[in-house]
Amino acid sequence: MIKKSVEDICNRQIQREGYSSILYLAMASWAETKGYSGIAAWLYQQAEEEKMHMLKFVSYINERGGHAILPAFEQPPSTFSDIPTLFDQVLEHEQYITESINEIVAMVSKEKDFATLNWIQWFVSEQVEEEAAVQEIIDKLRLVGTHNMYMFDRDILSLRAEGEPEAEG
Ligand code: FEO
């Protein structure tokens, strides 16, 4: 049976992963309206991954005898200034999520909940991969410069295919 403190912090993470998903959906929608179909596709895929992350927490809490609670989500921004700034915001958000996962690691260690400590390791690795993937995009954006956005938009999905293995379900 999951402890209340662990259940609560995992429920908090459901909100954060779910918000990540709608934030990336909002970014994808904006990018699509600006004609960046490749960038939009990358963000739509990322939004799906975040939904899968949220569902992993839902399943885990319920499997351990807790009750996963689906929260209301704050409305994400609907407009973004430009593509490089958007990816800076994605990285900043992922760093926030990493910090949040680290807080769960610290909490379950303190609570001696070794099952959750073991389970959460998947997210620890996933955050390393996600931050690296977004950093790679930011580095590439610096290389191509804002005058070559057509090529960047065309190539971004191949970047994901090479650099980021599909997350397991
Ligand atoms: Fe689920 Fe990108 O953090």
Q: Which domains does the chain have, with CATH numbers?
A: 4-161 (1.20.1260.10)
Pick the residue whose CA is nearest to atom 1 on ligand 1.
50
Ligand 1 and 46: CB distance under 6 A: no
Contact indicator for 117, 106 with CB cutoff of 8 Å: no
d(CA 47, CA 74) in angstroms, rounded, equals 16
pLDDT tens for the chain, residues 1 to 169: 999 999 999 999 999 999 999 999 999 999 999 999 999 999 999 999 999 999 999 999 999 999 999 999 999 999 999 999 999 999 999 999 999 999 999 999 999 999 999 999 999 999 999 999 999 999 999 988 877 888 889 988 887 655 454 444 4
Angle 25-27-31 (CA atoms, 0-180°, nearest 5)? 115
How far is the centre of ligand 1, averaged over its atoms, from the C-alpha of 7 (Å)?
19
Q: What is the pLDDT of residue 168?
A: 46
Q: Count the alpha carbons within 13 Å of 145 in the hemisphere toward its beta carbon.
A: 1
Ligand 1 and 94: CB distance under 6 A: yes
Q: Count the alpha carbons within 13 Å of 99 in the hemisphere toward its beta carbon.
A: 6
